[in-house]
Every structure is written in structure tokens, then in C-alpha cells.
Amino acid sequence: MKKVNNIAVLTSGGDAPGMNAAVRAVVRTGIYHQLNVYGVMYGYRGMLKNEILPMESKSVANIIQRGGTILKTARCKEFYEPAGRKKAYENLKKHNIDGLVVIGGDGSFKGAQKFSEEFDIPCIGLPGTIDKDIAGTDFTIGFDTAVNTAIEAIDKIRDTADAHDRLFIIEVMGRDAGYIALHSGIATGAEHIMMPEHKSDVDDIIADLQANERRRKLVNLIVVAEGHETGGANGVAEMIKHQLPNADTRVCILGHIQRGGSPTCQDRILASRMGYAAVNALLEGTHNVMVGIVNDRIHYTPLDHACKAKQEMDPEWVKMCKILAS
């Protein structure tokens, strides 16, 4: 087993709260094991442009509680071309880097997988995305913060919905995954939750709104995932207005607030454990895996299996959600 001496860490793709906690863990665990640790700025783009900086313990002081990523992030098409990866490799070699930790989503893992196949630099992936849609882990860094940000926002919206007896259609993030919608919807007692993974019949929702109106339940919240086939909150609003022209309806798109903010306790611990495990994996010669958490234990998944998960929603949750909001 080849010894690792110099490692680099980067954040890639959409940022997620907790990425800084993961970077901190990688840097400090590396330094503890007497490795030289480098930070690559702007994800893969920084590898191509040789924006690679040495990190000390102090470089990551006082960041565990910060949203965003001190290493910044970017998307980089060039890295998905062989020539780009070669250039990246050459830059890493200039610093004698022999291990790489990539914090990002499934797209970033695909890049890392390709890169590690072509060059002799082992890569470890850490799932950093608010969407929680990665196979091989129960949680991703940023998800818990994003859902808590969403519920704080929805709680505020319920205050005004309740004051006015209004119907609100609230769009949350998650791309084509419904986890943020499902969790934030249950936690706020939303009357309806529309997830991409679960066919919602808008006619049923309208029938239900009409039934609620008859029993004078006029405050209704619909939480819809941005990737829902109807086109998100605006699409749903249009369909409802068409059939219930007198409904007092408002649309809120929570947007990028879900990507920022100080990470929750769970995200900070998750990120710390994953960053710590990533360095240990490199030291033990475990290569080209994603570090996940399964049943509260560290779990390694080969990078090429750590793709976007097509998890089914538990039908019991969907049933529960309907019963509890009634």
C-alpha cells in the first residue's frame, strides 16, 4: 500500500451548509497525521488553474459554524474532457498531491471517478448536497440545515396564511428529489406535499381543498418540490386558480435561502465525521469511494455506485402525512 503524504480537498457543485465543517475536518485530521494538506479553490476549476493553497490548522479556525464554503465552488466543463483532467493532474503533481477529497454531489463524483481511473491519485467523495439524493448514505451534508431553514420559513408563512385564511403554495428546493418537500411538509403540517417521486393528482388536491372549504378549513399549505412535473409552485397555482377562481392563493418560492446559513448540529457532526473518515480512508489505502453514513455508521460505497439515488418514498409516510394534516 502506497503511503499518502500530501492531500488536497475541494468543494464542487452546488454549495451546502456544512461543507466548511467537512473541510475543517479533512484539514485537521490530515495535519494530525502529519500530512501536508492543500485546499483547491473553486472545485475542479482550481485544479485546472492551479489555484491550490497550503492549509494550516488555523486556516480552518472558526468556520465550523459558517455557511457557504471557504474554498468556494464552481462548475467546470473542462474537467469533463480528458485534456482538462490531464491539466488538473499535472497541477496536483506540482504539489506532489497523492490523495484528493471531493465534497460535492453525484456529478462531482462522476468527475472524481473518471479522474482516479486515469491517474494514480486516489479520490474520496463526501456527499455534500442539500438534496439528499445520493445512494450509499442515509444523509448528505446540508440536508438537515436546508429542511430546518425551510420549516422556519414555512412557519412564518403559516402565521400570515392563518391571519388571512389563505391558501399558500410553497416551492422548496431539491431538484428532482422530493426529500426537502417531504420532510418540511410533514414538519410544518402542510395539507398537501407534492414530490416528483410520487404522482399527485391535482384533481384530488382540488377536491380536497373544496371539501376543506365546506368545513371552513380555509388555511391550507401546499409544499411542492421545484422539480415537480407541474412546473413547481407557479404551475400548481395556475392549475388551482383555473379550477378554483375564487381561492385566495399566494405563491412563495423559498429559493436560495435553503443553501445558506449556519449548519445545524447534525450537519456539523455529519460533516466532521465524514471528513475525519475520508482522511482515515486515504491513510488506510481505501480508494475511490464515497464516505456515507448508514444506520449511524460510516459506510463506504465505490464512487461509481454513489450516483443519484432513486429512492422510493415510504408509502406509510405519505399516508401519515395525510392523516396528521387533516
| Residues from 148 through 207 that contact a second copy (CB under 8 A) | 148-153, 155-165, 168, 183-184, 186-189
25 known ligand binder = yes
Angle at 118 between CA 117 and CA 119, to 5 degrees: 100
CA distance 172 to 236: 13
Measured from the CB atom, the residue of 12 and 116 that comes closer to a second copy is 12
Measured from the CB atom, the residue of 116 and 258 that comes closer to a second copy is 258
DSSP secondary-structure letter at 128? B
| Total of residues contacting a second copy (CB under 8 A) | 74
Per-residue binding string, a second copy, 73-112, x by CB under 8 A, is xx--------------------------------------
Among residues 15, 98, 120, 131, the one annotated as catalytic is: 131
Q: How far is CA 202 from the centre of its chain?
A: 28
CA distance 7 to 324: 49
DSSP 3-state assignment of 35? Answer: coil
129 known ligand binder = yes
Q: Minimum distance between the CB of residue 82 and a second copy, rounded to whole angstroms?
A: 26
Measured from the CB atom, the residue of 119 and 280 that comes closer to a second copy is 280
Q: Minimum distance between the CB of residue 208 and a second copy, rounded to whole angstroms?
A: 15
Measured from the CB atom, the residue of 33 and 114 that comes closer to a second copy is 33
Q: Which residues contact 234 (CB under 8 A, 6 or more apart)?
A: 171, 251, 253
Whether 95 and 51 have beta carbons less than 8 Å apart is answered as: no
Whether 37 and 8 have beta carbons less than 8 Å apart is answered as: yes
Footprint of a second copy on 244-273 (CB under 8 A): 250-257, 259-262, 264-266, 268-269, 272-273
Catalytic residue positions?
131
